[in-house]
Structures are given as structure tokens and as C-alpha cells.
Amino acid sequence: MDPYVILTYRSQEHGSSVAKGSGSHPHWNEIFLFTISDSNYTLHLRLMDEDTYILRMTSLGRQCE
């Protein structure tokens, strides 16, 4: 398995590098910058495999006071 991640916040999208040969325990040490325009946001993560398609989709969200 050669995973990579696509991160999406509203219309902004970034992709990680492919973690070749890391199987089901990938590690990325990458920085992605998003412009956050309000205190409520959801960051969508799509975990992909370079050789196939979507493995899992999840969302991270935070409510600011």
C-alpha cells in the first residue's frame, strides 16, 4: 500500500506526498496552509492509495468560542 492524503477546507485543497511502502502505518511530516475565514470549520481528509482509490474519508472540525 502506498498511501497519500488529500486535505480539503471549503474550496481549498492540498495533497500530501505518497508514503511509498509504508503500508497501513504511514507517517507524513508536511505542512499545509489554509485560509480560515470563520470560527466554525471542517477539514476533510481523504486517505488514498496510489494503486487503488479511496480507503477512508473522515472530517475534523472545531467549534471556537
Q: Which position has the higher pLDDT, 49 or 34? A: 34
Q: Give pLDDT tens digits for 42-63.
A: 889 988 888 775 445 555 555 4
pTM of structure: 0.73
DSSP assignments along 8-25, one per residue:
EETTEEEEPPP-TT-TTS
Rounded to the nearest integer, the mean pLDDT of the chain is: 81
**Percent of the chain clearing pLDDT 90 (strictly above):** 37
The tally of domains found in the chain comes to 1
pLDDT of residue 60: 59
Cell match 509504508: residue? Answer: 22
Q: Answer yes or no: are the C-beta atoms of 42 and 9 closer than 8 Å.
A: yes
Q: Which domain holds residue 54?
A: 3-63
d(CA 15, CA 51): 16
